[in-house]
Every structure is written in structure tokens, then in C-alpha cells.
Structure 1
Amino acid sequence: MSGLGSAYSQKAYAYVTRRAEGDDQLLVFRERDDPRAGVQVPKGGIDRGETPGVAVRRELREESGLVHDSPVFHLASDRWRRSDGKRVARHFFHVPVEEPRDEWAHEVTGGGEDDGLTYDLSWRALPLSNGLAKGMHAYVPLLDR
């Protein structure tokens, strides 16, 4: 995965799923103070020396409060250019969980740019009827495999 180049910032994305009420569901969030940021999934930067699989678990904990020690499954990696021109190497993981809460608020930790923000988390039925912000939905169809 490191072959995607150092000119790209590295990010890990978590497609967190659960089965509830007979549906497969995807964990999403909205930034409480900036609804214009859209509906997103937990994600964030990969620290120097950190593998994408370790980073996705850390980001999940920091952005949702969920601690996941079970396996995560790499779905895809790509190169993506944001609307501001920044280049990102994205690594997407499937993270199946058993989570009883239907929705909750979490204050982001970890010291990054979103530290202290409040995320309102909830579940969306799969397949998604609407996309996610910033092209984050690109590999959601791979969850059906």
C-alpha cells in the first residue's frame, strides 16, 4: 500500500457495519457544528510508521468511541484528488461490529484537526440511497460481496 506515493497524504477509512432489524447498516456521522461537511464515515490520517489497519482502528476509537480489536478487512486503496487540489491515498476497510446503540454523540479525541468536535453518529441502511461526502461512498458496493 505504500506504493501509492509519498506525495499523497495517507488516510484510512472505516466502513463500520452491523446487522440490525433485518438490515445491514453502515455507521455514519455528521459534524454537529458544521452540517455543510455532509454525511461521513470515520476516517483520518495514517501516522508515520503506522499501518493502515492500525490507523483505521485508532481513527474509529477517536471519532466514534468504538474500540475494535477484531479483524478489519481491507477493501480497496486508491488515489484521490480533493476539490482543494490536495492528493490523498485512501485505504478503505470493512469493520463489522455488534453495537446496540442506534445513535450517539461523541467528542473527537486524538489531538488532530478535528479534536474536540462533536460527531453525531447513527446508522444508515445498506445499500445507501444517498452518497457520502467527499467521495467516501466509492467502495460501499464492495460490502455486498
Structure 2
Amino acid sequence: MKTRRKVLAYITRGEEPDWEILVFQQKDNPEAGIQVPGGTIESDELIIDALYREIEEETGITRENLELKGKVIKNKYFPEHKNKIYERTIFHLSYIGDNDEKWEYIVKGDGKDEGMTFCHRFVPVDQIPELAGNQDEAINFLT
């Protein structure tokens, strides 16, 4: 069975316990659910480079506006509908850029999301809605 390596970014702002976390929805496909930035690690790519690349491609936030807090969790999961093993590593980063409340961003890069518009916002960590694809599996490890 093939393994696909993925990264996810829990990007927070503010001070604990009042953290807010960055989430987004696809403007033209809201049924895809609420998500956090993340994606596939390319075969020749370092995990940390994939993390920052995915964040910038999906949000427009550059590395200079983030402070890496650490790795939250690494696990494997096995979607029943796919013949693959997914290895997901979730990182916690702090947003230190301008405090925009909401913004839209057209996805860059050459992946399947290229050209889509993502609508971003920060929500309180303790009020985070259910995330698509079980992306909220490690939220409790932030506090």
C-alpha cells in the first residue's frame, strides 16, 4: 500500500487561553467543509519546506509572518475509500503578521486547488467548528 505524507498547520494568534485559530472554506465549494492549511509533501521536499509552502499557497501568509511553536502530533490514518496510507504531521505556528479579521485568497501552486478562492478567518480555538477530513483531531493538544 502506498504512503502519502501530509502536513497540516494550526496557525493561532493571540495569547493562550484566548487563542484564535485560522480556518478557511472554499468560496465556490462550501460543501468541502471548514479546513486548516495543509497538503502533500513532495517526494524531494523537506517536511518544514512543505509546511511553509502549503501555508503560503493556500493563505498568502509568508514564513516571515509566522513563528513555529512545534510539532503537535504525527500519525497514520487509513481512509476506507482509498487504497493508501496517509501519514499526517500537524504543526503549531503563531501568526505574527497584520491582524486581518477575514480575507480571500486565490490559491497558488500547481496542485488541484490552484485558482480556487479560499475565504479565511480566525475563530476562537474553544469554538472551532468541526473540520473536514478529521483535521481537528489534535486541537486539544494545543491547550
TM-score with structure 2 setting the length: 0.88
The 2-side partners of 1:71 and 1:137 are apart by: 19
Q: How far did residue 74 of structure 1 move?
A: 1.1
Work out whether residues 68 and 92 of structure 2, in 8 Å CA contact, stay in contact via their aligned partners in 1. Answer: no
Q: How far did residue 93 of structure 1 move?
A: 0.3
Q: Deviations over 1:20-78 (max 9, x none)?
A: 7x831000000011111000000111011212222111100000000024435111111
Q: Which residue of 1 aligns with 2:110?
A: 111
How many residues matched? 138
Identity %: 28
| Runs of 4+ residues deviating >4 angstroms | none
Work out whether residues 12 and 52 of structure 1, in 8 Å CA contact, stay in contact via their aligned partners in 2. Answer: yes
Matches within 5 A, 1:1-145: 7-19=2-14, 23-69=18-64, 70-82=67-79, 84-85=81-82, 86-99=84-97, 100-144=99-143
The 2-side partners of 1:88 and 1:102 are apart by: 32
Q: How far did residue 82 of structure 1 move?
A: 2.8
Q: How far did residue 13 of structure 1 move?
A: 0.3
Q: How far did residue 139 of structure 1 move?
A: 0.6
Q: Deviations over 1:99-121 (max 9, x none)?
A: 41010000000110100000000
Higher deviation after alignment, 104-113 or 69-78: 69-78
Distance 1:45 1:113, change over 3 A: same
Work out whether residues 34 and 129 of structure 2, in 8 Å CA contact, stay in contact via their aligned partners in 1. Answer: no
Instruction: Identify unmatched segments of 5+ residues in structure 1.
Output: 1-5
Instruction: Identify unmatched segments of 5+ residues in structure 2.
Output: none
Distance 1:63 1:129, change over 3 A: closer
TM-score with structure 1 setting the length: 0.87
